[in-house]
Homo-oligomer: A and B are copies of this chain.
């Protein structure tokens, strides 16, 4: 994550202990934490960090394009550090586990003009749902 911290510093970010900790928490593959989960993990490293700062920092990271906001469930937004390789999501309907996936083809091309209603279509999100191996076994 020092890559991320370097980029942020280069963008004029003031480097604080709080921001460093949030950036550290958002590291890894298939990481899709809610704001409160980020806060809980950040508190473990920096007990006095506040909820508001976690929300603020996540919002800034999203604005900067360094983190994606994903809404695979109807409850809380999730924050995804894998912002550099476009991808979609596979979600377990039972336990909520989320994996990054890279489907073949281009779903944008599958939407004919007659189904665009004059919209300028620029983006598409695909969410696959099913049961993860553990939940399917149970």
Collect the chain B residues with CB atoms within 8 Å of residue A131's CB.
119-120, 122
Considering only residues 85-138 of chain A, those with a C-beta below 8 Å from chain B are 90, 92-93, 99, 101-105, 107-108, 110-112, 115-133, 136
A105 touches B101 (CB 8 A): no
Chain A contributes a number of interface residues (CB within 8 A of B) equal to 38
A14 sits at the interface (CB 8 A): no
Q: List 9 A-B contacts (CB under 8 A).
A: A99-B117, A99-B119, A107-B107, A118-B132, A119-B131, A121-B130, A122-B131, A123-B130, A125-B126
Stretch in A3-11, A52-60, A69-77 touching the partner: A69-77
Dominant secondary structure of chain A at its interface with chain B:
mixed
Which chain B residue lies CB-closest to A125?
A: B127
Chain multiplicity (copies) = 2
A126 touches B128 (CB 8 A): no
> Bound state CA distance, A70 and B29, in angstroms?
27
Collect the chain B residues with CB atoms within 8 Å of residue A93's CB.
122-123
CB 8 Å contact bits of A18-62 with B (1 = contact, 0 = none)? 000000000000000000000000000000000000000000000
Q: Known: A69-B74, A136-B120. Contact between A115 and B127, CB under 8 A?
A: no
A129 touches B124 (CB 8 A): yes
